Structure 1
Amino acid sequence: MVSINLGVLHYVLDHIYGTFLHRTKLGTPFFSKGWGGSKLDLLERMVKQLFPEAETQNWPPSIVKPVWRTVWETKTACLREGVFRTPCDEQLINALPPESRNARVALLAPKFVPPQKMACVVHLAGTGDHTFERRLRLGGPLLKENIATMVLESPFYGNRRPSLQRGAKLRCVSDLLLLGRVTIDESRSLLHWLEAEAGYGKTGICGLSMGGVHAAMVGSLHPTPIATLPFLAPHSAVVAFCEGVFQYCTAWEALREDAAQKAGMTLEQVRERLRSVLSLTDVTQFPVPKNPHAVIFVSATDDGYIPKHSVLELQRAWPGSEVRWVTGGHVSSFLLHNDAFRKAIVDALNRLEWKESLL
């Protein structure tokens, strides 16, 4: 009985947090400027290119050459920050706001350990994660396991946030697809840099919530086995914006008005159109990763944002992958279960072989 009550409490906490953050009039809702016009058409085409046959296309990706500066160092570890021009297709670069065209990345690594004897995991941003700090705190304790942490600043976030955007609330639906596609392209290039240039012996990709969806896509498309770790993540953005708490912070009326060329659209028809557009992010349509045993989902038992069925759909699509459940909701698990996330990272990397150069 106690566990049931606690489960209800965690679920209610997600909705209380969502109500305060998303249903009040204190902030701008998602997609307040509508669909994004011709940009949405472009992004729909560009996202479709990621689908099943795409994992062998455009590999190796465009090489990134970050310009590094040291932030701090101790006797055992070093934190560096790098900047690089996004390696995306020219059409994508032109679609990005100017503020998003240069990427920032942080790399926290042990000192005096050859990269060939280390692993490095790229950490992707969840909704609203504008800085490096939270992900660096997650990765910091892994230094003792010889696991480095690379943190990518997403387009539309942090220093890459457009001047007219308020917080994490993207102004157009096209921005969500653009954020995802650019994040995936940049992550693939960074993984290639870690493997081919820096020489790390193992690599992985992880992310929380939205970052977990992107991590799943990147892990799916990578041509060799890597650790893939979606945390508190759905199988598709449809779940977050059409089923979960985010539906209450979406500017449905603005989307209906922006679709005026389709005279007389009802709000229900608008919802169906958004569901159709966001179905492009359905990770179950992506290829099974090269080593599905190195895929570990960490999900919450009472998540008000991400229902269990969404997690299980992706696990079924990727036979051999593992789901681990933590007790709590989306918000409480984000705050309380970092140890479970770290253990999943260690375990997934342990299921990979070291590169042949170490044998």
Structure 2
Amino acid sequence: MVTVNLGTLFYVLDHVYGALLHRTKISPPFFSRGWGGTKLELLEKMIKQLFPDVGQNWPPTLVQPIWKTIWESKTAVLREGVFRTPCDEQLFNALPPESHNARVAFLAPKFLPPQKMACVLHLAGTGDHTFERRLRLGGPLLKENIATMVLESPFYGRRRPMLQRGAKLLCVSDLLLLGRVTIEEARSLLYWLDSEAGFGKMGVCGLSMGGVHAAMVGSLHPTPIATLPFLSPHSAVVAFCEGILKHATAWEALRDDFAAQKAVTTIEEVRERMRNVLSLTDVTQFPIPKNPDSVIFVAATDDGYIPKHSVVELQKAWPGSEVRWVTGGHVSSFLLHNDEFRRAIVDALDRLQWKESPL
């Protein structure tokens, strides 16, 4: 009788999935058009300024989404809203036109004042183009009086540039731009939830890339909120230089683009430049959130995309935060552990004080 170690099986599943998705000709690799030229230089400068600049710049621009009701039942209502991205002129001009307007879905209980509810903003993981998966994750939380807001990221869904195939961003600069604009939009939406809607508690969560962005947003928020990075690394360096996505990256195209600026003879020089650029996304360099005991990481024991050390590194950088381990890999945990993600959301919100105590 052959005994199969489940952890090994889950790890292999990640690699099989990654091979089918990233090593075939089904879709082009990430960054097939290179680094992004002067746009990358602009974004490197702006990312370096991110937390001292944006972190002190409160309040952000207050967005006013134009809402329409998609459906409503006896107990809940789903609305979708559209708003012009609130990022500054330089970022706005760097975005593709398709990304200028942001879209958001908002699922909330009916007949309950926002002061007696919590709301969690869900940010997109790599390849999460629509609202549906995150709405399914948040939907069961309605019975806990927790509303769900879902942001469609720039470069994704209806905001995807015409020439981009799926989630495969054309340039490295697009990855930094996606992150910076997502953070700006998320902070403005949290400000709307607080000042306009008046929710009693708030949180931000995300899976994989969305978890990195959620950690950044939670770090920069001026008051305590629940921060929930799921299956996410401490930096994009881990994802693209250590994990399976390194096989989905157009290293030759990046080398050729780099060679036009500097004599480059080996792929390793290009990988080193990638590490330097993506080190700007290192969340351990961001401030510790205002309420670290309301930070809960959920990580997988056998993740082929995100190694354990990356999760532990961020948890150590944020003393008081918690890591919860689920058995599985990146893909299997994404599919099988939604209940654990929901439990983390409930528990993190429970550790916050109500802005105004419900009557």
**Residue of structure 1 in register with 2:168 after alignment:** 169
Aligned to 1:36: 36
- 1:277-296 matches, within 5 Å, as 277-296=277-296
Could you say which residue in structure 1 is the equivalent of 2:226? 227
Superposed, 1:248-287 pairs within 5 Å as 248-260=247-259, 261-287=261-287
Shift of 1:48: 1.0
User: Within 5 A, what are the aligned runs for 1:182-331?
Assistant: 182-260=181-259, 261-331=261-331
Instruction: State the match for 1:350 in structure 2.
Output: 350
Give the corresponding residue for 1:78: 77
Q: Distance in 2 between matches of 1:55 and 1:248?
A: 34
Q: SS in structure 2 opposite 1:70?
A: strand
Native 8 Å contact 1:68 1:82 kept in 2: yes
Alignment gaps of 5+ in structure 2? none
SS of the residue corresponding to residue 30 of structure 2 reads: coil
Q: Give, in whole Å, the separation in 2 of the partners of 1:3 and 1:307.
A: 24
Aligned match of 2:15: 15
Asked if the contact 1:259/1:265 (under 8 Å) is kept, the reply is no
Structure 1 residues without counterparts, runs of 5 or longer: none
Q: Over residues 131-152 of structure 1, what are the superposed CA-to-partner deviations in whole Å (9 max), with x where a residue is unaligned?
A: 0000000000000000000000
Indicate conservation of the 8 Å contact 1:92/1:182, yes or no: yes
Q: Structure 1 segments of 4 or more deviating over 6 A?
A: 1-4
Whichever residue aligns with residue 306 of structure 1, its letter is I
Using the TM superposition, give the Cα deviation of residue 27 of structure 1 relative to its aligned residue in structure 2, in angstroms.
1.1
Residue type at the aligned position of 1:246: L
Whichever residue aligns with residue 153 of structure 1, its letter is E
Alignment partners' CA distance in 1, 2:170 and 2:188: 27
Q: Report sequence identity in percent.
A: 81
The 3 A distance-change label for structure 1 pair 3 and 148 is: farther
- Report if aligned partners of 2:115, 2:356 keep a CA contact under 8 Å in 1: no
* 1:148 aligned partner: 147
1:315 corresponds to which letter in structure 2?
Answer: Q
- Equivalenced residues, count: 358
1:109 aligns with 2:93: no
- CA shift digits 1:247-283 (9 cap, x unpaired): 0010000000001220134210000000000000000
How far apart, in 2, do the equivalents of 1:19 and 1:90 lie?
A: 40
Does the 8 Å contact 2:258/2:264 carry over to 1?
A: no
Counterparts in 2 of 1:85 and 1:269: CA distance versus 1, 3 Å:
same
SS of aligned partner of 1:259: helix
Q: What residue is the counterpart of 2:49 in the other structure?
A: 49
Structure 1 289/118 Cα, relative in aligned 2: closer, same or farther at 3 Å? Answer: same
Q: Partners in 2 of 1:2 and 1:106 — Cα distance?
A: 48
Question: Structure 1 length normalisation: TM-score?
Answer: 0.98
Letter in 1 for 2:182: T
Asked if structure 1 preserves the Cα contact closer than 8 Å seen for 2:220 and 2:287, the reply is yes
The Cα shift of 1:2 comes to 9.5
| Stretch deviating more after TM superposition (31-40 or 20-29) | 20-29
- TM-score, reference length from structure 2: 0.98
Distance 1:292 1:257 in 2: 44
Give the alignment's Cα RMSD to 1 decimal. 1.3
1:272-325 Cα offsets, whole Å, 9 max, x none, are 000000000000000000000000000000000000000000000000000000
Distance in 1 (CA, whole Å) between partners of 2:49 and 2:227 is 21
In the alignment, the residues of structure 2 paired with residue 48 and residue 73 of structure 1 have an alpha-carbon distance, to the nearest angstrom, of 43
User: Contact (CA 8 Å) 1:55, 1:223: kept in 2 or not?
Assistant: no
In 1, distance between residues paired with 2:220 and 2:264? 40
